[in-house]
Structure 1
């Protein structure tokens, strides 16, 4: 295994509360854009992103869509219980299938006011979904694991035909990040989604993509750029604070990804690869390591799973090229007649990581002492400090609703 010695204390910076963008800008693409290339920094507006990208760049987006994952239920005593969806457990752990489940489902959740919610106690809410009256019931089925059973039925029909996603969209609120320090408002229902979000299942937005408009995407297509979409369902773990100084001991969050055959084909034909957001980057780098597993005979049957420290097991001389690894994934899918593979990644990208797929990154500005700052430091080295110092000095807006950056390594 590679010798990696990364200390959290080395990735601290002072972020004043006033630098955190509490609300989105009126126009998505009017955000400021910091451009880092070859160690040099310049400033522009996000709508001019294309002028900094030569025609060899292919853009890869994360098309996950944010669920209104935060729900509230009132007990007879008046106490409010908050249920926050994390990931599905039954009858399926595959997010896209779980969205279509009818009648009942079990999800792992975080639960606010847990002590006031007794085992066996059913909490209920009346909803209106597509003009139909619906009763939604929740019950704890595993307190230790925080598993909650959701069941629903139409009051005017013996057999309901509503999917879980229909019910959640009627019952839930937008799961804004805790650092915004405000409740969700109507504006967040649309602004905390990318314009290209399609696959319901995230509980946090892939925020780098929030700056894109339909007009920008159409312009890129007109210019002949390759645009592609893959899927990583962003989990609440993305906000999980790092509590250990030795980063390798951090319990990295696991997120579900969906890799499509056309993704692999497009990656193979791309000369330069631009990840729109850290989630797209984590997905593509994970695809590379899945190819390594296939080549080395370490992949379980049709099971894409990348452990957090797997990339550090091998010296670079032992590893296949980008093309070889991607071709191994494509060959595997063709032999097994697969159009997509669903898997999970807990990949931890930190200084010392050698990027295999991504040549450039679009991202917002992240919290100090977070796994995302470690990813940025891995990508551009110690220059991350220069980037953040200048962003603070130039009054950039930070975090989810903040401004963007384009980081080009070479």
Structure 2
């Protein structure tokens, strides 16, 4: 008997507000790590050779915490500092090297009332695609003053509700340098501080283009990455520009009706060659974050390899997705009813994912961007 399709309500869970991390820990690697050991050949990459190794720890590894059975799978409490011991030499660890742009602009309407603009990505002819509040302040022809020398004017309301805006008085680049602020997620309820300037960026961030950080990568230090490389783990990067849709809950009752915002990505030729080489050598592909998963699966070719080049993806991954590239996933804990939680459920299995989340809540893990991490094996 075929099970009923999952609905958006099936991706709910209860989270006490005090478990939403408002501050980063003193040390990036000090987070806890929930290890999820799958034992279900129907999820993850659909390769028989790989499936036989799902849920099996490397023989040399002994994690700190006790195993909690979840059906034939298990979850184990650990620390992020233990992650390197889980990754065997010859495996490939893939990072998203995007950098968060200082895309949040605070200004005033002609009346003196406050307004806010969030730049998403450049448009044609010097314009920018943006969103903001209140919506009445971003109607065609209306201006928001950023300072005595600069303002933002709305050119057009786009079909998806975003705005096309242009800068007056100075270039967008100069305005962002002078007035731009780091766009912290809406669930972080305090103003940004100097600490966020470094801690809401990964240590390997390269090219500005995102409005949110690839948060699974926030736990890594340069020293940890260097030690992984020295131990024989292959470390490489791709770039996916994270848009505001990452925070958007799925409102449609049927997840398949949710419209994903497109995001630009780039797969370097070196990474495509590394994936092919690691596959040939029998290694696994580890994705650091859901954005890496989406980029890899969007560029997948037959045989578990990927195509190099630039692209744009609106791929929404839900349970039943046939993973072609990714074998292991390092990720943070995500919002209820979010496309990110649906992706994790597709990779780990829906029931196991929700069981892991309930366990994390009971054990007082820290959630969301500055929270703790999970690795799905």
Q: Which residue of 2 aligns with 1:191?
A: 199
**Per-residue CA distance 1:39-65 (angstroms, 9 max, x = gap):** 222222212210112213210000000
Scaled by the length of structure 2, what TM-score is found?
Answer: 0.84
Scaled by the length of structure 1, what TM-score is found?
Answer: 0.77
Asked if the contact 1:35/1:42 (under 8 Å) is kept, the reply is: yes
> What is the CA–CA distance in structure 2 between the aligned matches of 1:260 and 1:402, rounded to whole Å?
30
Q: Which residue of 2 aligns with 1:229?
A: 237
Q: Indicate how the Cα distance of structure 1 residues 32 and 122 shifts in structure 2: closer, same or farther if over 3 A, else same.
A: same
Equivalence map 1:11-410=2 (5 Å): 11-37=11-37, 38=55, 39-91=73-125, 105-116=126-137, 119-126=140-147, 135-144=149-158, 145-153=162-170, 164-165=172-173, 167-270=175-278, 271-288=283-300, 291=301, 320-323=302-305, 326=306, 329=307, 341-381=309-349, 382-408=351-377
> What is the CA–CA distance in structure 1 between the aligned matches of 2:345 and 2:337, rounded to whole Å?
11
Structure 1 segments unaligned to the other structure (5+ residues): 92-104, 128-134, 154-161, 292-319, 331-340
> What is the CA–CA distance in structure 2 between the aligned matches of 1:119 and 1:53, rounded to whole Å?
53
Q: Indicate how the Cα distance of structure 1 residues 402 and 126 shifts in structure 2: closer, same or farther if over 3 A, else same.
A: same
RMSD: 2.0
**Per-residue CA distance 1:147-199 (angstroms, 9 max, x = gap):** 1102454xxxxxxxx7x445413311111111222322222111111010001
Q: Indicate how the Cα distance of structure 1 residues 152 and 47 shifts in structure 2: closer, same or farther if over 3 A, else same.
A: farther
Asked if the contact 2:120/2:129 (under 8 Å) is kept, the reply is: yes
Please identify, of 78-87 and 63-72, the stretch whose mean Cα deviation from structure 2 is larger: 78-87
Q: Which residue of 2 aligns with 1:303?
A: none
Asked if the contact 1:67/1:169 (under 8 Å) is kept, the reply is: no
Q: What's the CA shift for 1:73?
A: 1.5
Q: Which residue of 2 aligns with 1:333?
A: none
> What is the CA–CA distance in structure 1 between the aligned matches of 2:97 and 2:199, rounded to whole Å?
15
What SS is found at the alignment partner of 1:168?
helix
Q: What's the CA shift for 1:119?
A: 3.9
